[in-house]
Amino acid sequence: MFPSLVLMRERNIWNRIKRRPMILLGEEAEEAINERGRIIRPVSEGRILHEEAYILLVKDALERLRLKPEETRAVAGTLSRVTEEELNKLESLLEKSVGLAEVQIYPASLGTLVSMGFESGIILDIGEGATNLLAVEDREIVDFSTTVVAVDAALNAVKARLSTEFGVDLRTEEVRLLAVSLKDKLKKYTASGVKEFTSGEIGEMIKRESLYFAEEIAELMRVFLRKASTGMLENIIITGGGTYFFEEPLRSLLPEISFKKPPDPSFANAEGLYKIAEAIFQEPPQRIQPTPELTPEPSISGVPERITITPSEGSYEDRIV
């Protein structure tokens, strides 16, 4: 819906005199990214690192959807490899701090499989801070793995290169905006003068760095696939926002794999988790002021009747069924 970005402005006299909002969310935070202040992406490497910012973003999403928290039941996605403590923390934040009526938690990558209508498969989900591998056979999760090699690894490598080779200190978020072409160009002052960087130039840097990191993901994938059954190997799916950076190098590094890709890799997890929510809760929540363009069409075709998660070290089994 909007960038998962929070900007907490610096508390100074001019901000107070002008009565400027001290906290900006989503698009407003993105537009003010060059201001002095703290830029926060509350979820890093698949885990919540800043609870206040996370709660603000969830509440803002509910407000945009015109949903009352106390009347809303939700399915939330998280890492495939997660501890019971982390599950409890996420559930508590959503039910107690946000005020949702009920929360069910699933591995986010499962959403893509459900959205594509498959019952078995292997999902390679490349996000911002983490890459998840999930193996599902006959609606049951049988294996999973997680690595922190993902989009942020490539962005940080480009950021470091700009600093050492050009003497330019960009924020990671500025590199991200150029990399995904949300900004066409960016000018920065350096000791040798003003330098301009275009989205095309940063994009080429990202491609080179992505190829390097894709080798690590490819090796993880090879090890993971050796344990997979025939049924799972029929549907090997690549998804997540990192698909835009890593798909091409991964296809070249793993020519023996015929990757399947959802129509919208960035949205597939959410679409599938919503279908799971429809199946669990039977009906969508009522909006405060329903509008035709915001009312989703109910569709639970292809949703598994049951989804069983086989836990690692006993962390899941009583929580998610």
The answer to whether position 107 is within a domain reads no
The answer to whether position 78 is within a domain reads no
CA 99 from centroid of its chain's CA atoms: 23
The answer to whether position 216 is within a domain reads no
Contact assessment for residue 148 and residue 45, using Cβ atoms and an 8 Å cutoff: yes
Q: Is residue 231 exposed (0-12), middle (13-18) or buried (19+ Cβ within 10 Å)?
A: middle
Strand 131-137 and strand 140-147: the pairing is antiparallel
The answer to whether position 1 is within a domain reads yes
- Inter-helix orientation angle 172-179/199-225, to 10°: 90
Contact assessment for residue 80 and residue 133, using Cβ atoms and an 8 Å cutoff: yes
The reported pLDDT for the residue numbered 111 is 95
Residue matched to tokens 């009565």: 19
The answer to whether position 229 is within a domain reads no
Determine the structural domain holding residue 8 and report its residue range.
1-40
Query: What is the pLDDT tens value at each position of the chain, 321 positions in all?
Result: 788 899 988 887 767 777 778 899 999 988 888 788 888 989 887 788 899 999 999 999 999 999 999 999 999 999 888 888 989 999 999 999 999 999 999 999 999 999 999 999 999 999 988 999 999 998 888 999 989 899 999 999 999 988 888 888 888 888 888 887 777 888 877 777 788 888 888 888 888 889 899 999 999 999 999 888 877 889 999 999 999 899 999 999 999 999 999 999 999 999 999 999 999 998 666 767 655 555 444 444 444 444 444 333 434 333 333
The answer to whether position 214 is within a domain reads no
The reported pLDDT for the residue numbered 318 is 37
Instruction: Report how many domains make up the chain.
Output: 2
The answer to whether position 314 is within a domain reads no
What are the φ/ψ torsions at residue 286 (nearest 5 degrees)?
-90, 130
The answer to whether position 274 is within a domain reads no
Q: Three-state DSSP class for 77?
A: strand
Question: What does the alpha-carbon distance between residue 103 and residue 122 come to, in Å, rounded to a whole number?
Answer: 26
Contact assessment for residue 73 and residue 100, using Cβ atoms and an 8 Å cutoff: yes
The reported pLDDT for the residue numbered 291 is 53
Strand partners, 47: 44
